[in-house]
Structure 1
Amino acid sequence: MTLPIKIQDHTFIMHPSGVLFWEEKSMLIISDVHLGKVSHFRKFGAAVPQKAVLKNFELMNEAIAFFYPKTICFLGDLFHSSVNKEWELFEKWVAQTSSELILVEGNHDIISPLKYEKLGVQVVPEIESNGFLFTHHPEERKGYFNFSGHIHPAVRLRGAGRQTLRLPCFFKSSNQMIVPAFGEFTGNHTLKPSKKNEVFAVTKESVFQVDLG
């Protein structure tokens, strides 16, 4: 189940995969995929199943099939580090994807922009559009609402007893939304919201707003 939210009179739809869809621009926003990380782990002996290499591509295809976006914007850290065998899978994925592809550079994006540009992927430091600012690191800029990644936000939910559950989340303040990490095996950072925040937790089936009391 998706969950829409209005921000500055524009509609953004949060999806259980952790992607965000900007309805007016038909733009799919995906952050922190960290392609190549699974292969990196396997190279150094981690017991990660081979099928995990394909999981990110499968999840991206599912999100694309749901929204049919005109543009896909990656909010940084598309690849975890240098080129490995997952780059070949990425090349094939790009060739089969009809959407315009834009990468907002993140701190892990060390692969040359020229390699992306050969595939038709535009690489930029940030995007400004309609009063919105899209960056990898969270940023405050006067007059803009910022969408970012990098943090891999999560929230800890507490039950009636002592049980707790930690879930990835969309983390919103008055002028910013931090998007959850999309990639498998990325890890999360638990944030402590105040009553000034809005938090939308993500499960495999749904997105729901957290009651901050």
Structure 2
Amino acid sequence: MRILLVEDDPDLGPAIARALRSENCAVDLVADGIDAGHFGDTERYDAAILDLGLPGKDGVSILTAWRSAGRDMPVLILTARDGWPDKVAGFKAGADDFMTKPFRVEELMLRLRALVRRASGHAANRIECGPLTFDALSGQFELDGLPLKLTAFEWRVLSALMLAREAVIPRLELLERVYEGDADVDSNSLEVIVGRLRRKIGASLIETVRGRGYRLTAEHSACA
């Protein structure tokens, strides 16, 4: 998952980013409302974590602008404001979830994964594609019932393909989900990651669709 984290606290923002990265997420951290609006408008994210009280532009205004522009990524508001009017304003602006500070990182991660899973059209946490199984709540992959060990980059690519359910994901979109905004990306890096995944799960499960991108497909049974 690639996450946009909008948090102006100089200690809390980097701490949340480190926690998310430890769960294989790519994270773009911004601390200003103006920058947050720009990143959300121009980059592709699986979800956003948005504070309400921000310098430059407040969170509700940012979210309202995103929704008006057709930006449909799941947005979780994370704020110290716990009053009912703030929750109403957040949900009316288009928030998908609302958490108040202080919070547990474990709960934040569970909620994020649930938002991304539902946005991808999955009602159940357990997703299967041939011999491959993905628990969208825990983030764990299994191959033929055994835990699958993946690097962070491999996890990001495979989880994106798994959630897409046999749909083709363009190469550029996959790259955007794997790397953070300031990363120095080699032009062949995605092919290297896909090659490693094929060696781990079987070459036939990841199909290259020429001129379009990649998709995960089961050889003898459909993804579900």
* Bin of the TM-score, shorter chain as denominator length: 0.3 to 0.5
Tell me the TM-score normalized by structure 2: 0.35
Q: TM-score, normalised by structure 1?
A: 0.36
Tell which structure's C-alpha radius of gyration is larger: 2
Relative contact order (C-alpha < 8 Å, sep 6+): which is higher? Answer: 1
Indicate the structure with greater strand content.
Answer: 1
